[in-house]
Amino acid sequence: MKHTAVLFVCMGNICRSPLAEGILTNLAETEGVSRQLTVDSAGTGGWHTGTAPDRRSIAIARKHGIDISLQRARQVSQADFETFDLILAMDGGNLAKLLRKAPENRKHKIHLFLDYASGRHENVPDPYFGGDDGFLAVYNMLFAGCSSLLEKMALDHAS
């Protein structure tokens, strides 16, 4: 597998995208391919910049053996469109914002996460205003999507 830089994007970079970053990083370490991946996350909005992920995201990740507590929220920058090979939005709203912000010659890097990873044209819902069950459901969606993404990247680079 050749080196790939992946950026996960949600709205505030405190719930979904930090979880996805933690999950993919953990899966890559487990599979022995972490040296071939750079994984990061960001938000389309900047109001949480510098803060840790939501405590519920930290808790659900920790429950699955993943520590995301040291991550800090940041907003997507213009440099990200150059730096990352794949920019994966959690939902259609954030996908649209990314496509509006990206230079024309970098839009091919931007995709809806579950659509790109597993062919499911589906949003990862924002669990922020819900309860713990919503965070567990999102974790499960992200884990399945990240597993599919890792397989897809291995297959794409093998051919």
Local structure of 40: helix, strand or coil: strand
Residues 6+ apart with CB under 8 A from 79: none
DSSP codes, 60-76: HHHHTT---TT----B-
Separation of alpha carbons 154 and 71, rounded Å: 26
Instruction: Indicate which residues carry an active-site annotation.
Output: 10, 16, 126
| pLDDT at position 159 | 57
Superfamily (CATH) of domain 4-158: Response regulator (3.40.50.2300)
pTM of the full structure: 0.97
pLDDT per position as a tens digit, 57-112: 999 999 999 999 999 999 999 999 999 999 999 999 999 999 999 999 999 999 99
Band (158; pLDDT cuts 50, 70, 90):
low
Q: Give the domain ranges of the chain.
A: 4-158
How far is the C-alpha of 16 from the C-alpha of 23, rounded, in Å?
11
